[in-house]
Amino acid sequence: MNSDLVDRATAGVARQLDGVQRLGVAFSGGVDSSVLLALAARALGPSRVLALLGVSPSLAADERDGAHEVARHLGVRLAEVETHEGDRAEYRANGPDRCFWCKDELFTRIEAADHGLDAVAYGENADDVRRTDRPGSRAAAAHRVLTPLATAGLTKADVRGIARALGLPSADKPAAPCLASRIPHFIPVDALKLSQVERAEAALRRLGFGDFRVRHHGEIARLELPIADLERAAGELREAVHRAVTEAGFRFVALDLAGIQSGAFTRAARR
């Protein structure tokens, strides 16, 4: 166990939480929010930390289950927060600022809930701060949400190292943005599209694929896979992949030869 890294990170996060008696962590079950939850629990004690999971049609069932598993592993109570970003016209319009409206909805609902919190934090890391394609961070700033990982200077590599050192279930979990990120900007987000993506991705996980995206282009599902998985998807598993995706409601299945591209729609919309 890399105890030095964990100890330094715990001390850094504890400095950011000085004076906080009860902390809520906006929690997704991903590696960043898992590490924040773990370090906050070490700094304050598990009983003084509450994991807050936003639940809506944009959250896949597998992600919801995984978040509960991490919270149980850490001995931290998890409260589900029902969000209604789909009721917001700005969110449904699906512009490049969609994540702002989603996070604004989450933080607004957290503030309205009676959890007796002194502060709320979320898992932005030091690498995230340098990115320009994260409108959700503007919502966090507007709601005065704390960013202990970023403020302590913890990078994504640090976060992964801490997660492995602590044996977190999410330590090697690939990035898993919300289901709405699979829909091209300016194509309206609705529950049917989100459901199609969720069903297709769940079926592909059952076939053994890990890090990938199913992009929604109407009747066409465009699969982004790591380059190493393309041959398997187009070869031995071709029929199974086609069946898995078409049974989710798509008519055509396309493999993107460029491989997996995190944030592709947002970057394209900003050009």
Q: What is the CATH number of the domain that holds 62?
A: 3.40.50.620
Q: Are residues 31 and 153 in the same domain?
A: yes
Q: How far apart are CA 59 and CA 53, in angstroms?
A: 10
Domain edge (last residue) among 115, 137, 165: 165
pLDDT tens across 225-256, in order?
999 999 999 999 999 999 999 999 999 999 99
Q: Find tokens 């809506």 and name the residue.
A: 56
Is 171 domain-assigned? no
Cα–Cα distances in angstroms (integers) from residue 26 to residues 21, 99, 127, in the given order:
16, 14, 19
List the domain range (segments joined by +) for residue 257.
179-269
Q: Are residues 39 and 87 in the same domain?
A: yes
pLDDT at 3: 82
pLDDT tens across 9-67, in order?
999 999 999 999 999 999 999 999 999 999 999 999 999 999 999 999 999 999 999 99
Q: Are residues 160 and 194 in the same domain?
A: no
Instruction: Decide the pairing of beta strands 213-217 and 220-224.
Output: antiparallel
pLDDT at 176: 86
Average pLDDT of span 144-148: 97
Residue 271 has pLDDT above 60, yes or no: no
Residue 261 has pLDDT above 80, yes or no: yes
> Both tokens of residue 4?
């030095």
Q: Are residues 23 and 157 in the same domain?
A: yes
pLDDT tens across 68-125, in order?
999 999 999 999 999 999 999 999 999 999 999 999 999 999 999 989 999 999 999 9
Domain edge (last residue) among 165, 195, 221: 165
Q: Are residues 99 and 199 in the same domain?
A: no
Is 170 domain-assigned? no
pLDDT at 265: 58
Q: Are residues 79 and 212 in the same domain?
A: no
Is 262 domain-assigned? yes
What is the pTM (predicted TM-score) of this model?
0.92
The 3-class secondary structure across the chain, one letter per residue, is CCHHHHHHHHHHHHHHCCCCCCEEEECCCCHHHHHHHHHHHHHHCHHHEEEEEEECCCCCHHHHHHHHHHHHHHCCEEEEEECCHHHCHHHHHCCCCHHHHHHHHHHHHHHHCCCCCCEEEECCCHHHHCCCCCCHHHHHHHCCCECHHHHCCCCHHHHHHHHHHCCCCCCCCCCCCCHHHHCCCCCCCCHHHHHHHHHHHHHHHHCCCCCCEEEEECCEEEEECCHHHHHHHHCCCHHHHHHHHHCCCCCEEEECCCCCCCCHHHHHHCC
Q: How confident is the model at residue 270 (pLDDT cuts 50, 70, 90)?
A: low
Residue 1 has pLDDT above 70, yes or no: no
Half-sphere exposure of 230 (CA within 13 A, CB side): 12
Residue 175 has pLDDT above 90, yes or no: no
Q: Are residues 135 and 193 in the same domain?
A: no
Q: Find tokens 């066409």 and name the residue.
A: 220
Is 66 domain-assigned? yes
Q: Are residues 75 and 133 in the same domain?
A: yes
Q: Are residues 44 and 156 in the same domain?
A: yes
Q: How confident is the model at residue 262 (pLDDT cuts 50, 70, 90)?
A: confident
Number of domains in the chain: 2
Q: How confident is the model at residue 132 (pLDDT cuts 50, 70, 90)?
A: confident
Q: What is the CATH number of the domain that holds 215?
A: 3.30.70
Is 124 domain-assigned? yes
Is 195 domain-assigned? yes
Q: Find tokens 């590599």 and name the residue.
A: 157
Q: Are residues 205 and 132 in the same domain?
A: no
Q: Are residues 157 and 183 in the same domain?
A: no
Identify whether the C-beta of residue 161 lies closer than 8 Å to the C-beta of residue 185.
Answer: no
Question: What's at 222, amino acid-wise?
Answer: R
Residue 203 has pLDDT above 70, yes or no: yes
Q: Are residues 136 and 215 in the same domain?
A: no
